[in-house]
Amino acid sequence: MSEARHDWSKEEILAIYNKPMMELLYEAATVHRVHHDPNTVQVSTLLSIKTGGCPEDCGYCPQAARYHTDIEGNDLMTVSHVKAQALRAKASGSSRVCMGAAWRNVKDGPEFDQVLEMVRTINKLDMEVCCTLGMLTENQAKRLAEAGLYAYNHNLDTSEDYYKDVISTRAFEDRLETIDNVRKSNVTVCSGGIIGMGEQLEDRAGMLVALASLNPQPESVPINALVAVEGTPMEEMEPVSIWDMIRMVATTRIVMPETQVRLSAGRTEMSREGQAMCFFAGANSIFAGDKLLTTPNPDVNEDMAMFKLLGLNPQKPFVKVAQPTTTEAVDSILAPLGEKPKWSRPAHKIERNEIAKNKTKLVE
């Protein structure tokens, strides 16, 4: 089994991101097929269990109390309501429920106890449970793990250099500390970011450097396109190009070959063709349902129709998706191109000219 690289430089990642599109797609798709089943995509449901009133000032977020948005806040959901929503999600094909609360950080007390009961309840439904609750301590991470939490989401959002232009109420280091606290439990890490917030390409590369440098790397990396919401400081941002999303997904797949790359916010602006290109480039997870916390998302029936069209299958819960990298695996991926090449290095470290040199022409 190959080991993921943790020493990527920003320059190396930019070189990948800026490759000619056809080369980038081919390389990302090859890496994806070595490590994952290309016809399986996880379907997750994101549920806002406590909406609005957050004291943070994240420039993209309509849930910040200081911004004047049309978001209707609500108190913490009841356990029975969450269970009903989870059962509905399971019936629609979701294998994971991610619960989000608009908190700066987790506070011990009745509300956290209620969240722990939600985790236990969903876990009994044979579904993966993920939470995104803000910053948390090592002890809180341990308690979530004991309740049966499968994953904890805590996005870096952007590069360390650009972070202060997006958020001032929490430091980049605070994000890393929470991820470290999660790693001290047996809960998996879900951490990614958002593109289209006015950042430079160097910032996108910088975010991937930070994520890839984590050891182990996150099991899940959401790639979000900014959904500009009226009333937030980023309401005037232009929608990110689908080509930027494809490049970001492909680059993430190459840099973190074993992680699950999540095609997250912004899918309502993407055509089926655009989403198909993202799946080809290595995305193997989506969020289903008509909302992602507070922003619009494609209807689950629309997603299932797309899956049928593309021949994709929803991933079952608790499945280890990353496969070991072996020379036999690489051979089986490239065998349809002709004579099986014999590689001496893991697939994601093979230079593009080596693949071109070793493959044969398709039979005419």
pLDDT over 70 for what percent of the chain?
80
**pTM of the entire predicted model:** 0.84
pLDDT digits (tens, 9 = 90+) for 144-172: 999 999 999 999 999 999 999 988 888 89
- Which of the residues are catalytic? 54, 58, 61, 98, 130, 190, 262
Q: Which of 2-16, 185-199, 223-237, 331-345 has the highest mean pLDDT?
A: 185-199
HSE of 170, CA atoms in CB hemisphere, 13 A: 23
Q: Is the dihedral of CA 55, 60, 66, 69 positive or negative?
A: negative
| Spatial distance between the Cα atoms of 195 and 241, rounded to a whole number of angstroms | 10
Boundaries of every domain in the chain: 10-314, 327-358
DSSP alpha helix (H) spans, the chain: 10-17, 21-35, 79-91, 110-123, 138-147, 160-163, 172-183, 201-213, 242-255, 272-280, 300-310, 327-334, 352-358
CATH topology of domain 10-314: TIM Barrel (3.20.20)
Output the pLDDT for position 116: 97
Whole-number average pLDDT of the chain = 83
What would the pLDDT profile of 49-73 be if each residue is shown by its tens digit? 888 667 777 767 776 656 656 666 6
Cα separation of 63 and 83, whole Å?
24
What local confidence, expressed as pLDDT, does residue 52 receive? 67
Three-class DSSP category at 68:
coil
> Within the chain, what is the greatest distance between any pair of CA atoms?
69
Whole-angstrom distance, CA of residue 186 vs CA of residue 147? 11
- Of 164, 167, 54, the residue nearest 105 (C-alpha): 54
